[in-house]
Amino acid sequence: MTDIQQRSIDLKPEEITKKDVMVAWLRFYYANEIPHSFDRYIAAALLWGLMPILKKLYKDKDDLIAAYQRHLLFFNTQLTWGGGTITGIVSSLEIVRAQETYEGKPISINDDLLYNTKAGLMGALAGIGDAIDSGTVQYIFIAIALPWAQQGLAIGALFPFIAFVTYQVSVGYYFCQLGFKLGRNAATEVVGTKMQMIIEALSILGLFMMGILAASYIKVASSLRFNLSGKDFVIQETLDKILPGLLPLVVVSGLYFYFTKKGLKVTNALIGLTIILGVWAAIEYSIVHFL
């Protein structure tokens, strides 16, 4: 065997398996926010996740350095829906590029295509992931655990974290394998009809859970009571007969409409709500004790 033949064998890309992609995803999951920087955001975390794959694909030192450099450009997305899917897609594209490089063919998967694929997906997938993971799923787990926490059980504090991590790892693994299998077409699958049905179902479930939380854990009651002709009239009992939980519903609805109109100004809302409830409590106290 000649030196040229041996070099050709040494430079041949190794096969990338589902296990390799899973390891890349888990590395990215672990390192997600650790190397966060202003100019690159979490690009270094993605690169660290992809490094074992890139080392198997590019045996030439210069090709490997070039691969590292193109994945250090600005990158930022949501951890599971965006990060998982893009990790799988980039892995599949790098396999094609490495094979073209090894065989000396024209490079169809150039640097611009790789980066534009990431840039085009990272924002859209992050929007979906943030709405589902951060805006819905984690609060479902918190709502489930609240009764345990109120009873003083440790599982009430631990369950949301354990359940959310398990969920994220499972979802991220699914999407990274989907991205690896389908390549650039994976994005279509993520935002396809079936996935939209799942998203809508989770959103509806999240609304139910928020309603349950508002009714069960937000305590707003009236202390007003009157004695007319020797008969006591308790306002809160009357309200409960009309619609149990009416006052908590009014408070939550008021906050919702405030945030809708004014934006998520939490501090202003808390101050305003405190003033309103304080004034109302003072009025009720005056009515009950002085009238």
The residues facing 41 across adjacent strands are 37, 75
**pLDDT-derived band at 191, boundaries 50, 70, 90:** very low
The whole-number pLDDT of residue 229 equals 62
User: What is the structure's pLDDT at 20?
Assistant: 92
The CA distance from 122 to 83, in Å, is 8
Indicate whether 160 and 75 sit together in one domain. yes
Segment 165-177, tens digit of pLDDT? 999 999 889 888 8
Of the candidate ranges 73-77, 122-126, 262-266, the one whose mean pLDDT is the lowest? 262-266
Look up residue 37 and give its DSSP letter.
B
Assess whether 267 and 178 both reside in one domain.
no
Cα–Cα distance measured from residue 65 to residue 57, given in angstroms and rounded to the nearest whole number:
12
Query: Is the pLDDT assigned to residue 209 strictly greater than 70?
Result: no
Judgement on whether residues 71 and 203 belong to the same structural domain of the protein: yes
- Per the model's pLDDT, the better-predicted residue between 160 and 230 turns out to be 160
Domain span at 227: 222-290
Rg of the chain over all Cα atoms, to the nearest angstrom = 28
- 159 and 240 part of one domain: no
pLDDT of residue 286: 73
Cα maximum dimension of the chain: 113
Burial class (CB in 10 A: 0-12, 13-18, 19+), 148: middle
Is residue 217 assigned to a domain?
no
> Which pLDDT band holds residue 207 (cuts at 50, 70, 90)?
low
| For the ranges 60-74, 91-105, 196-210, 218-232, the one whose mean pLDDT is highest | 60-74
Query: Per the domain annotation, does 251 fall within a domain?
Result: yes
Q: Are the CB atoms for 160 and 225 separated by under 8 Å?
A: no
Integer angstrom CA distances of residue 35 from 17, 40, 76, 123: 27, 9, 12, 20
Q: Indicate whether 149 and 192 sit together in one domain.
A: yes
More confident residue, 144 or 218: 144
Residue 215 lies in a domain: no
Q: State which H helix or E strand residue 78 sits in.
A: none
Query: How open is the CA angle 240-207-143, to the nearest 5 degrees?
Result: 80
Q: Are residues 202 and 227 in the same domain?
A: no
Among residues 175, 210, 245, which one ends one of the domains? 210
Q: How many domains does the chain have?
A: 2
The angle formed by the CA atoms of residues 281, 286 and 287, to the nearest 5 degrees, is 100
Same-domain check for residues 113 and 249: no
Is the domain of 197 the same as that of 278? no
What pLDDT shows up at residue 181?
82
- Could you tell me how far CA 241 lies from the centroid of its own chain? 40
Predicted TM-score (pTM) of the model is 0.67
Same domain, 177 and 273: no
- 233-252 pLDDT, tens digit per residue, is 666 666 666 666 677 777 77
- Specify if 37 maps to a domain: yes
Given a contact cutoff of 8 angstroms between Cβ atoms, the answer to whether 160 and 138 are in contact is yes
Q: What percentage of residues in the chain have a pLDDT greater than 70?
A: 74
What tokens were used for 218? 């937000």
Does one domain contain both 286 and 205? Answer: no
- On whether both 181 and 242 belong to a single domain, the answer is no
Mean predicted confidence (pLDDT) in 175-195: 64
